[in-house]
Structure 1
Amino acid sequence: MMRLALRLLALSFAALTGTPALAQAVANDEADIAAREQEAKAKLSKLRADIDRVLSLQSALQEELKQAQSDLREADEAVQKQSAAQRHLQADAQAQQAALQNLESRRAASAAGLQAQREDLAQMLRSAFRLGQHQQLRLLLSQDRLSAASRVLEYHRYVQRDQLARVRKLMDELHALAELTEATRVQNDQVTQAMQAAEVGLQALAQQRAERESLLEELRSRQRDHEVRLKNLRHDEQALQTLLETLRDVFADIPEQLQAEQSMAARRGRLPMPAAGPVLSSFGAGLPDGRRSEGWLIGTAAGAPVKAIAHGRVAFAEWMNGYGLLLILDHGDGYLSLYAHNDALLREPGDWVEAGDPIAEAGSSGGQSRPALYFELRRNGQPVDPRQWLRR
């Protein structure tokens, strides 16, 4: 930056004094500086390509992150629902198993009771057979024991009927238990199959969630890379601020070739527009990286003339990271105007210009997606709203 200031001072002094030796030295120095600038521009071209890629990918990456976070939320909720369903199925399976065990116990008890009743009935039938029909006839013909025999026969019939009824009841109960047991087994098999299917589904959902978590982490890693790039861009912005502070009134101690008719402050609100076109982004508007615009972005055609807003001298005219082909005019009294994203610069450092003079051709250098002029007006290094100064 000191080299730039010395160069400008030497040019001005040579022009005013007309000293040949000094002019030749300045010319040699200019050739050396031009070679260095060409080398720097070659190195910066790769950085410009990287910046273009970061700017174009940043918005898409944000959308991918939002979608990945939404997908991960859906996966988490699906796993939660599937886990709840799995727990319910496990509870149902446990209940079915307990019911099946209870039915098995009841069936075993009923089978044992039926076996006992069958044995009692068989014993009774054997006893009756041993008595025989003749024994029953003798009991009937015995007058003195007729009443007792009648009661005995009636008792035998009652016991037989009761035993048969109990056997039928037990057999009916066993049949019902068998049907219920079979139905319970079928239901238990269905619950088991549902549990197996749910487990497979849960594993698939868990795998899907793991994949989405991996994708989200990858996107976050890429976002961190972009944040580093944006940090570098902010560093470039700070470098521009430092440049502006260095260039502020760099020509203050050099006699002006022409005196401005009026000071900048006196022409507030009456300065001409630097380019024809609509204002796409105003002072203070939000930028994609979270910062606020410190100037105007004016939509214009590629190659359209960019004009000086007031009398001044070119303090800077070359490519700069984040701004493309940039030209800065020093208007004195701490006022600087900046013209960025040009496709061509028509003036060189040290040139004097008047309001309305063409100084550049509008374009899209520095990573712009469309032709536009970025314009800033600063006083003492601080940006001011162009709306308060320009006549539209």
Structure 2
Amino acid sequence: MFCIFPPALFLTAATARTILRRPAWRLLAVALLAATLMVPTVAPSLAASGRQSGRGADTASTSEVAERESDLKSLHGQIETLRSEMATAEGSRRDALDQLRDSDRAISSTQRDLHHLTTQNGRLQAVLKDLAAQSRELEQRLGAQQGQLEKLLYRQYLRGNPDPLRVLLNGDDPNQSARDLYYLEVVGRTRSQLLVDIEASLERKQALAGETRQQAEQLSAIEARQREAHARLLAQREQRQAMLAKVSEQIATQRREIGHLQRDEKRLTELIDRLAKIMATRAAEAREAARRAAQRRELAKPETRTEKSSQASSRPADGERIGKAPTTEVRPEPALEMPPTANLARMKGELRSPTRGAVTNRFGAARQEGSTWKGLFIRASAGAEVKSIAAGKVVFADWMRGFGNLLIVDHGSGYLSIYANNDSLLKQVGDDVRAGDTVATVGNSGGNPESGLYFEIRHQGKPLDPLAWVNLK
């Protein structure tokens, strides 16, 4: 507590009147009274100066913190984008591995079929070889049979071609005639059988040869198709292995990049933690200064009343008048400036849409890369106005990968509204906004294929369904 007088100088009214009757003490009393009345003036001035200096430092620190937090949020966005890209790349890598697995299985099956066909071909070749041996044996037999037939025919030619009836009526020896008739019968049967056997053997040989050629042609065609399929599958596997190598290299590069970003994030987080501690210390000092100022004001009130009572009860003996010192009005310290905020919890379902358009993607719907939508995408024409859904303070206004020109408004109590893919940002960090203020214009920044606004509402970092909060009508 700051005080200009020692406790002994706080006198009663009677003692003051006794002292003031003496001329020497009158001048001292006037000086003391003036000093007393100046205390409330000097102290608030010093306190105000200190508060102004502190607020200036706090403003600079707050600006620095906001800038660092913006950098950190941008870095968070880059990291999340990289993680999303890595998840997509991991999915592509898994697809490539699945395709490579299917190709390997198909190649193995094709090779197994080729091996089976080769085995069948070997067995068929053995059959063909056996058929060739049988054919050669049959040809030898046919040759022998043909030789016998030739001899038989030659003998018949030499002996002529006697008619059995003529032999019987020839008048020769009956026994000789019987033998000749039997001979003729045997020769005829033998010749006929030889001809039948030869014809059957030739037919069998031709059938086996035809069947062998047909099966050999089929096997040759199948082997050609299998070799073609095998070559095609080998080419596919080589292509997919190259794709797998490319995807793996991409994943490795992204992992290195995300490692750098995570280290940057750690440094920024440590810096923000230090700044937050400094600001917390300054806030504590400001609260302590306010408490001391309040104590000084409380102490100044009884002192002022005591001096006024002393002035009223004492008069100068020589007719001199002591002039009344000007009083200073004691005003409470102004409160720190706070951003205009709105109680969003009470406005659920009554907030106006940030822009007019058709909702094409809704909260919780599945995205192509496998994640879900954390907000809404409102398709709108380029240049349309984007309005703040409630009062608050702009805490981020910059470009961010994946979101383009991004603006975030803090509505207090942990509620944030997020406006992305804007064509232009009309507000800056630190600007206060009211409900319905135009904060940006619709566009397709960030590489978005169509013009529109991506809109989110978050509470304590958790995404909320905007359709439960915003009335689109």
Residues 111 and 174 of structure 1 are in contact (CA less than 8 Å); yes or no, is this contact kept in structure 2? no
Residues 339 and 392 of structure 2 are in contact (CA less than 8 Å); yes or no, is this contact kept in structure 1? no
Residues 117 and 223 of structure 2 are in contact (CA less than 8 Å); yes or no, is this contact kept in structure 1? no
Residues 226-255 of structure 1: CA deviation (Å, up to 9, x unaligned): 667888999999x99x99xx89xx999894
In structure 2, relative to structure 1, the CA distance for the partners of 1:337 and 1:256 (3 Å cut) is: farther
SS of the counterpart of 1:374?
strand
Instruction: Output the CA distance in 1 between the equivalents of 2:258 and 2:411.
Output: 26
The correspondence for 2:202, drawn from 173, 178, 195, is: 178
The aligned counterpart of 2:325 is none
Instruction: Output the CA distance in 2 between the equivalents of 1:233 and 1:293.
Output: 25
Residues 326 and 342 of structure 1 are in contact (CA less than 8 Å); yes or no, is this contact kept in structure 2? yes
Task: State the shift of 1:76 in Å.
Answer: 6.4
In structure 2, relative to structure 1, the CA distance for the partners of 1:315 and 1:230 (3 Å cut) is: same
Residues 279-305 of structure 1: CA deviation (Å, up to 9, x unaligned): 111111111221111111111112211
Aligned AA (2:366): G
Aligned AA (2:402): G
Q: Runs of 5+ in structure 2 lacking a partner?
A: 1-50, 161-166, 284-334
The correspondence for 2:432, drawn from 352, 359, 377, is: 352
Instruction: Output the CA distance in 2 between the equivalents of 1:296 and 1:97.
Output: 78
Instruction: Output the CA distance in 2 between the equivalents of 1:212 and 1:92.
Output: 33
Task: State the shift of 1:331 in Å.
Answer: 0.9
SS of the counterpart of 1:377?
strand
**How many percent of aligned residue pairs carry the same amino acid?**
24
The correspondence for 2:224, drawn from 181, 200, 205, is: 200
The aligned counterpart of 1:305 is 385
Task: State the shift of 1:156 in Å.
Answer: 2.9
Instruction: Output the CA distance in 2 between the equivalents of 1:372 and 1:225.
Output: 35
Task: State the shift of 1:164 in Å.
Answer: 3.5
In structure 2, relative to structure 1, the CA distance for the partners of 1:265 and 1:155 (3 Å cut) is: same
In structure 2, relative to structure 1, the CA distance for the partners of 1:269 and 1:317 (3 Å cut) is: same
Residues 421 and 444 of structure 2 are in contact (CA less than 8 Å); yes or no, is this contact kept in structure 1? yes
Aligned residues: 335
2:126 is the alignment partner of 1:102? no
Residues 342 and 373 of structure 1 are in contact (CA less than 8 Å); yes or no, is this contact kept in structure 2? yes
Aligned AA (1:165): R
Residues 296 and 376 of structure 1 are in contact (CA less than 8 Å); yes or no, is this contact kept in structure 2? yes
The aligned counterpart of 2:418 is 338
Instruction: Output the CA distance in 2 between the equivalents of 1:391 and 1:178.
Output: 97
Aligned AA (1:108): Q
Task: State the shift of 1:123 in Å.
Answer: 8.0
Instruction: Output the CA distance in 2 between the equivalents of 1:116 and 1:381.
Output: 110
Instruction: Output the CA distance in 2 between the equivalents of 1:320 and 1:291.
Output: 19
Map residues 62-81 of structure 1 onto 2, 5 A cutoff: 79=110
Which structure has the larger Rg over C-alpha atoms?
2
In structure 2, relative to structure 1, the CA distance for the partners of 1:270 and 1:21 (3 Å cut) is: closer
Residues 194-225 of structure 1: CA deviation (Å, up to 9, x unaligned): 43333333222211121222233344445556
323-332 or 210-219, larger mean C-alpha shift: 210-219
Q: Runs of 5+ in structure 1 lacking a partner?
A: 1-16, 130-135, 142-148
Task: State the shift of 1:369 in Å.
Answer: 0.7
Residues 97 and 188 of structure 1 are in contact (CA less than 8 Å); yes or no, is this contact kept in structure 2? no
Map residues 139-288 of structure 1 onto 2, 5 A cutoff: 149-224=173-248, 255-257=336-338, 259-260=340-341, 262-288=342-368
Tell me the TM-score normalized by structure 1: 0.65
Task: State the shift of 1:265 in Å.
Answer: 0.9
Residues 82 and 198 of structure 1 are in contact (CA less than 8 Å); yes or no, is this contact kept in structure 2? no
Instruction: Output the CA distance in 2 between the equivalents of 1:223 and 1:256.
Output: 53
Task: State the shift of 1:256 in Å.
Answer: 3.9
110-119 or 75-84, larger mean C-alpha shift: 75-84
Instruction: Output the CA distance in 1 between the equivalents of 2:443 and 2:54.
Output: 38
The aligned counterpart of 2:292 is none
In structure 2, relative to structure 1, the CA distance for the partners of 1:168 and 1:258 (3 Å cut) is: closer
Instruction: Output the CA distance in 2 between the equivalents of 1:357 and 1:308.
Output: 6
Residues 121 and 163 of structure 1 are in contact (CA less than 8 Å); yes or no, is this contact kept in structure 2? no
CA RMSD between the two structures: 5.1
Residues 233 and 322 of structure 1 are in contact (CA less than 8 Å); yes or no, is this contact kept in structure 2? no
In structure 2, relative to structure 1, the CA distance for the partners of 1:295 and 1:286 (3 Å cut) is: same
Aligned AA (1:151): N
